[in-house]
């Protein structure tokens, strides 16, 4: 049972037992600390500039045999709090949070199928408008076409999610290997077909991470269709979280002060 910490570089944040650094884009990125790498065995490490953390997810799918497994990031982790507001208040009182233990995550999996980030509401009004605002509309159109062709039974869930206004972001989760395998089988079939149809040659480096962005949406669509039992946990960014940060969040997001 492991929580893999996706990273593209050495990081110094102290991680507890059960958390395993996984270097993505390992064909090109240095590995001075001998982290696990995404370029051993069956892999798509060379796709990292376009697939982001998904090259790590693919490697875990094809090469890992843990019973329970998850993904977090070198500067973003699951907290112990189920809601963002609880995370803010706890941080005000206790200071910077620490990642939830894998022991506690395993306990949750006795009751739940997936542990994922607490959903966030987008300002644009819908997930479709949010994607178009942040990325390129045509890529979403093509993705919908691929889903319609390959998995037509998912289209209603696709539409429901895109017309909604919230999502679990960051491609973070903790679940059983079997659940992850089922999701990955579906996800990568779609993404590899989308990759054949889109043209990202003129995109900047950020927009070229298209397949990572698409997967954040597809993950929510897969969950909407399959309806597993979900436990939500708030996440925190180690670069931002502090008592001062939490006070500002309480004032702005909880109390509505400007």
Flag whether the pTM goes above 0.85: yes
Q: How many domains does the chain have?
A: 1
User: Beta-strand (E) ranges in the chain?
Assistant: 2-7, 19-23, 36-37, 68-73, 76-78, 114-117, 120-121, 166-167, 173-176, 230-233, 235-237
Does 83 have pLDDT greater than 90? no
The two tokens of residue 172 are: 């973070």
pLDDT of residue 253: 65
How far apart, in whole angstroms, are the C-alpha atoms of residue 187 and residue 190? 5
pLDDT digits (tens, 9 = 90+) for 52-78: 999 999 999 999 999 999 999 999 999
33 near 20, Cβ under 8 Å?
A: no
* Residues 165, 107: Cα–Cα separation, whole Å: 31
Instruction: Note down the domain range covering 190.
Output: 2-254
Mean pLDDT of the chain: 94
């Amino acid at each position: 049972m492991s929580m893999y910490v996706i990273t593209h570089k050495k990081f110094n944040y102290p991680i507890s037992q059960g958390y395993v650094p996984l270097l993505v884009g390992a064909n090109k990125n240095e590995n001075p600390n001998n982290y696990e790498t995404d370029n051993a065995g069956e892999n798509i490490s060379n796709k990292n500039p376009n697939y982001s953390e998904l090259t790590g997810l693919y490697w875990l799918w094809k090469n890992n045999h843990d019973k329970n497994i998850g993904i977090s990031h070198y500067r973003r982790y699951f907290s112990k709090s189920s809601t963002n507001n609880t995370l803010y208040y706890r941080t005000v009182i206790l200071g910077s949070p620490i990642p939830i233990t894998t022991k506690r995550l395993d306990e949750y999996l006795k009751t739940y199928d997936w542990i994922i980030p607490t959903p966030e509401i987008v300002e644009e009004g819908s997930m479709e408008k949010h994607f178009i605002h942040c990325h390129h509309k045509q890529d979403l159109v093509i993705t919908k076409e691929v889903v319609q062709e390959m998995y037509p039974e998912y289209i209603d869930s696709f539409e429901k999610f895109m017309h909604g206004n919230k999502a679990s972001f960051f491609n973070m989760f903790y679940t059983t290997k079997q659940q992850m395998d089922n999701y990955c089988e579906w996800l990568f079939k779609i993404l590899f077909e989308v990759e054949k149809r889109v043209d990202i040659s003129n995109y900047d480096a950020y927009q070229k991470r298209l397949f990572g962005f698409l997967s954040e949406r597809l993950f929510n669509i897969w969950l909407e269709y399959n309806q597993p039992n979900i436990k939500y946990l708030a996440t925190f960014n180690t670069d931002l979280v502090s008592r001062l940060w939490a006070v500002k969040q309480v004032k702005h997001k909880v109390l509505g002060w400007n």
